């Protein structure tokens, strides 16, 4: 009883502390009267204090000031004795000056722990047509040191208007109602290794978790955009932290960018690519800002018609890494074809087709002679394609099996990434059969290919040629869509330095492959895994790596910003929650990744999913010019929906508009879709749906049961 009473008291104390924390969050700070340096136009006002703090970051149209007088930077350096030391403005006094639309904040001989270091930091704040560009230069002349990290610009103790949500580009887009709640409630396992008493941090990197190098705080009619417009594709962190106003009360939001100069003694490093912009409009304005910049260098080419008409693929493992045959070559034109036809899917993404099996033997890919060798594989592909199908051939773009011939007897050991000690990185793939020993102990061990290595790049090209020789329609390289989790380290200088350009190397490799195969056969296609704007520009399609149907999933951001990119859903692999997730794929304009039981089964083993997906794809096939790759995702541009309980998304092509509408509400929902300048033509529906619209009207009335879905066709 005493223990129970103590627990209740502890909970009440915790709740009281949380209430006090919430009340503190709503306080604001007025700094406009402080002396400083001001930049202003019709859209924005920026004010920097004489101490280098950010006093004002105001949207001049709304009058809201996001800033509160916090410092704008942190710098981290290390010596041979201490790995990380932090410097910020609290112990340093800058010389601040202004010339025209540029404020310069110069720190000479940075102070740390009472000692002047031969390190200089120069920051610039420039006004550019409604945006603020933040630049930085670090110069290191302090012997025995390296400047590892610069966190700048930072908007500390940020004041968000009520209702502003955090929009990230994680997995193509995520929308979180409460930024601080997201940041504070991070995985407790990661907190064990972090100084969480000082701050909480949400980890987000580009080009890795983040598909684009921007994020925003978005309201219904205005917001604040953060963009790193850095064409070098250096790996960049989207800095999202919460600091405490009192012990345990993490209520002070901070946002910015983190970059990595790695400047040793004698080095100078500069960056001038951070853009902040208060804007007016919905979240789609962030897409326009980012895409306007991307248009200055993006190199996306039109994809072949067959990919535009592809509604997805069956992702199938023929032989697994532990030796089990899940499918044989002869199954491809047989049961695999039949399963695809049953749901209107005519494409297979073939995994584990080589003799060693999936995630095994890389990069040798020896043909399976026990099944008849190369001729049998070619024949199976030809027989499958003869039934109006397409075959995509899998290779892994970055893993090197340490038991492979190339690693053991070739040049593999010299073409893999090594860590800061010179040791090879190791990655383990723990797929299991039905026991425990293989998956938990006797796993495959891989090294990571160095994407800057010419021999590895040449092998990627050879694999494309091999796929064409087999008669495939496309080649797919796994894990080439993002920056490397385990980058190579350069140990040739005083301090080891990680390579921050692995995303660029992968983009360059994909471009080289694309140019190579298109010169031979423009209809032959290229795909990769992981969604990122810098790599997807060179691909005909992309296989996403994470969930796209979570409550916070917002793939609309990437679909709206880059409507040319064709990419998939993921993780619908059984007979659970089928309607909601399959509807989400149609609603958001993704293609189906059919991966039954993690690619070990076929869709006839999940009859509910099979039946429902057949209905979804029948609708897509009825309007392919709108609902597949040729249709341009427009979100809700050009139409309105009267009910917040109805989710509606639009697809345009020529003079026609398709509006997909559904509801997640258990009690259903009713409302009307209004499309000015268009007339209703027809609709197709699944589930409990009632549509009332006269031909020629610009309004359609809807009544939807939970997970009922309809496609409304309008014409100008």
106 plus 226 within the same structural domain: yes
258 plus 376 within the same structural domain: no
**Residue 333 carries which DSSP code?**
I
Residue 495 domain-assigned (yes or no)? yes
332 plus 462 within the same structural domain: yes
User: Angle 453-455-456 (CA atoms, 0-180°, nearest 5)?
Assistant: 70
Q: Domain end: 601, 627, 653, which one?
A: 627
Q: Is the pLDDT of residue 228 over 60?
A: yes
Residue 187 domain-assigned (yes or no)? yes
Q: Is the pLDDT of residue 6 over 90?
A: no
130 plus 276 within the same structural domain: yes
Measured distance CA(586)–CA(662) in Å, rounded: 10
Q: Is the pLDDT of residue 345 over 50?
A: yes
- Helices within 482-545 (DSSP H only): 502-520, 533-536
- Position 21 confidence tier, pLDDT thresholds 50, 70, 90: low
Please give the full DSSP string across 17-52, using - where no structure is assigned.
HHHHHHHHHT-----TTS-EEEEE-SSEEEEEETTS
| Structure-block tokens of residue 164 | 């502003």
For the stretch 92-117, pLDDT in tens is 999 999 999 999 999 999 999 999 99
pLDDT attached to residue 443:
86
Q: What is the CATH number of the domain that holds 47?
A: 2.70.98
Ranking 194-198, 262-266, 330-334 by mean pLDDT, the lowest is 194-198
Using a pLDDT cut of 90, give the percent of the chain over it: 89
pLDDT attached to residue 432:
82
Q: What is the CATH number of the domain that holds 377?
A: 3.20.20.80
Measured distance CA(387)–CA(285) in Å, rounded: 45
| Whole-Å CA distances, 20 to 27, 159, 161, 245, 272 | 11, 17, 19, 10, 40
pLDDT, the chain, mean: 94
231 plus 354 within the same structural domain: no
Strands (E), 141-193: 145-155, 165-168, 174-176
Average pLDDT for residues 214-243, to the nearest whole number? 97
Q: Is the pLDDT of residue 409 over 60?
A: yes
pLDDT attached to residue 25:
37
Q: Which of 462, 457, 456, 446 is nearest to 415 (CA)?
A: 456
225 plus 254 within the same structural domain: yes
- Position 1 confidence tier, pLDDT thresholds 50, 70, 90: very low
| Whole-Å CA distances, 62 to 31, 36, 254 | 17, 22, 21
Average pLDDT for residues 585-607, to the nearest whole number? 97
For the stretch 449-508, pLDDT in tens is 999 999 999 999 999 999 999 999 999 999 999 999 999 999 999 999 999 999 999 999
621 plus 671 within the same structural domain: no
Query: 572, 314 in Cβ contact below 8 A?
Result: no
β-bridge pairing 709-715 and 656-662: antiparallel
Ranking 22-26, 354-358, 574-578 by mean pLDDT, the lowest is 22-26
Residue 18 domain-assigned (yes or no)? no
Number of domains in the chain: 3
- Mind spelling out the 3-state secondary structure of 65-80? ECCCCECCCEEEEEEC
Measured distance CA(277)–CA(45) in Å, rounded: 10
Q: Is the pLDDT of residue 7 over 80?
A: no
Q: Domain end: 592, 607, 627, which one?
A: 627
pLDDT attached to residue 22:
46
375 plus 485 within the same structural domain: yes
283 plus 178 within the same structural domain: yes
Residue 281 domain-assigned (yes or no)? yes
Strands (E), 305-346: 312-317
Average pLDDT for residues 621-632, to the nearest whole number? 96
Q: Is the pLDDT of residue 11 over 80?
A: no
Q: Peptide bond before 402: cis, by omega within 30 degrees of 0? A: no
Q: Is the pLDDT of residue 16 over 90?
A: no
Q: What is the CATH number of the domain that holds 698?
A: 2.60.40.1180
Query: What is the domain extent for residue 652?
Result: 636-715
pLDDT attached to residue 468:
98
| Other CB atoms within 10 Å distance of the CB of residue 688 | 14
For the stretch 348-397, pLDDT in tens is 999 999 999 999 999 999 999 999 999 999 999 999 999 999 999 999 99
231 plus 312 within the same structural domain: no
686 plus 606 within the same structural domain: no
Measured distance CA(474)–CA(562) in Å, rounded: 22
For the stretch 666-709, pLDDT in tens is 999 999 999 999 999 999 999 999 999 988 899 999 999 999 99
Q: What are residue 239's phi and psi, to 5 degrees?
A: -80, 105
Residue 434 domain-assigned (yes or no)? no
Q: What are residue 302's phi and psi, to 5 degrees?
A: -65, 145
666 plus 562 within the same structural domain: no
Q: Is the pLDDT of residue 30 over 70?
A: no
Residue 337 domain-assigned (yes or no)? yes
Measured distance CA(617)–CA(354) in Å, rounded: 31
Ranking 6-20, 240-254, 312-326, 700-714 by mean pLDDT, the lowest is 6-20
Q: Domain end: 269, 294, 319, which one?
A: 294
Residue 121 domain-assigned (yes or no)? yes
pLDDT attached to residue 340:
98
Residue 247 domain-assigned (yes or no)? yes
């Amino acid at each position: 009883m005493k223990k129970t009473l103590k627990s209740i008291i502890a909970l009440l104390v915790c709740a009281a502390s949380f209430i006090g924390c919430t009340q503190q969050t709503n306080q604001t700070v007025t700094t406009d009267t402080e002396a400083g340096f001001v930049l202003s136009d019709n859209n924005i006002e920026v004010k920097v204090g004489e101490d280098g703090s950010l006093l004002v970051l105001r949207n001049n149209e709304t009058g809201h000031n996001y800033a509160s007088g916090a410092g704008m930077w942190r710098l981290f350096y290390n010596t041979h004795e201490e790995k990380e030391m932090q410097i910020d403005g609290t112990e340093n006094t800058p010389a601040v000056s202004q010339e025209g639309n540029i404020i310069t904040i110069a720190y000479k001989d940075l102070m740390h722990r009472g000692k002047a270091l031969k390190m200089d930091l120069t920051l610039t704040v420039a006004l550019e047509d409604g945006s603020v560009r933040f630049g930085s230069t670090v110069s290191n002349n302090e012997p025995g040191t390296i400047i590892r990290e610069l966190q700048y610009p930072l908007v500390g103790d940020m004041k968000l208007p009520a209702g502003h949500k955090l929009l990230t580009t994680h997995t193509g887009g995520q929308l979180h109602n409460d930024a601080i709640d997201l940041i504070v409630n991070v995985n407790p396992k990661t907190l064990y290794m972090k100084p969480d008493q000082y701050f909480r941090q949400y980890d987000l990197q580009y080009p890795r978790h983040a598909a684009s190098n921007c994020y925003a705080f978005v309201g219904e009619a205005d917001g604040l955009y953060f963009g790193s417009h850095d064409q070098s594709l250096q790996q960049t962190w989207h800095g999202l932290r919460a600091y405490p106003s009192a012990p345990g009360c993490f209520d002070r939001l901070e946002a910015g960018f983190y970059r990595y100069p790695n400047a040793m003694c004698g080095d100078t490093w500069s960056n001038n690519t951070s853009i902040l912009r208060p804007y007016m409009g919905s979240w789609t304005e962030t897409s326009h800002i980012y895409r306007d910049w991307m248009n200055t260098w993006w190199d996306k080419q039109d994809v072949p018609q067959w990919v535009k008409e592809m509604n997805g693929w069956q992702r199938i493992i023929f032989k697994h890494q532990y030796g089990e045959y899940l499918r044989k070559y002869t199954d491809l034109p047989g049961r695999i074809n039949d399963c695809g036809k049953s749901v209107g899917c005519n494409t297979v993404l073939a995994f584990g087709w080589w003799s060693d099996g999936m995630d095994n033997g890389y990069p040798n890919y020896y043909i399976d002679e026990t099944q008849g060798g190369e001729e049998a594989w070619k024949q199976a592909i030809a027989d499958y394609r003869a039934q109006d199908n397409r075959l995509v051939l899998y290779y892994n773009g970055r893993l090197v099996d340490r038991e492979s011939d190339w690693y053991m007897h070739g040049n593999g050991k010299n073409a893999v990434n090594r860590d800061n000690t010179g040791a090879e990185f190791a990655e383990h793939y723990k797929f299991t059969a039905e026991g425990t020993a293989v998956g938990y102990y006797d796993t495959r061990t891989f090294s990571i290919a160095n994407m800057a290595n010419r021999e590895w790049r040449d092998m990627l090209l050879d694999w494309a040629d091999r796929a064409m020789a087999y008669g495939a329609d496309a080649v797919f390289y796994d894990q080439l869509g993002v920056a490397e989790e385990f980058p190579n380290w350069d140990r040739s200088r005083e301090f080891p330095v990680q390579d921050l350009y692995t995303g660029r190397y992968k983009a360059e490799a994909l471009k080289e492959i694309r140019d190579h195969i298109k010169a031979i056969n423009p209809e032959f296609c290229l795909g990769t895994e992981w969604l990122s704007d810098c790599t997807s520009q060179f691909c005909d399609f992309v296989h996403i790596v994470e969930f796209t149907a979570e409550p916070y999933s917002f793939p609309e951001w990437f679909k709206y910003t880059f409507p040319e990119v064709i990419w998939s859903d993921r993780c619908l692999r059984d007979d659970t929650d089928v309607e909601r997730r399959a509807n989400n794929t149609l609603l958001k304009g993704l293609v189906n990744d059919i991966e039954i039981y993690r690619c070990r089964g076929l869709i006839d083993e999940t009859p509910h999913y099979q039946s429902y997906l057949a209905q979804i794809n029948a609708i897509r096939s009825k309007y392919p010019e709108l609902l597949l790759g040729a249709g341009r995702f427009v979100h809700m541009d050009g139409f309105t929906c009267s009910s917040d309980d109805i989710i509606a998304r639009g697809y345009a092509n020529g003079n026609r508009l398709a509006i997909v509408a559904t509801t997640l509400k258990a009690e259903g929902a009713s409302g009307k879709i209004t499309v000015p300048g268009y007339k209703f033509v027809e609709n197709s529906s699944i589930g409990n749906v009632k549509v009332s619209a006269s031909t020629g009207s610009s309004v359609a009335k809807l009544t939807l049961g939970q997970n009922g879905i309809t496609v409304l066709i309008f014409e100008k």
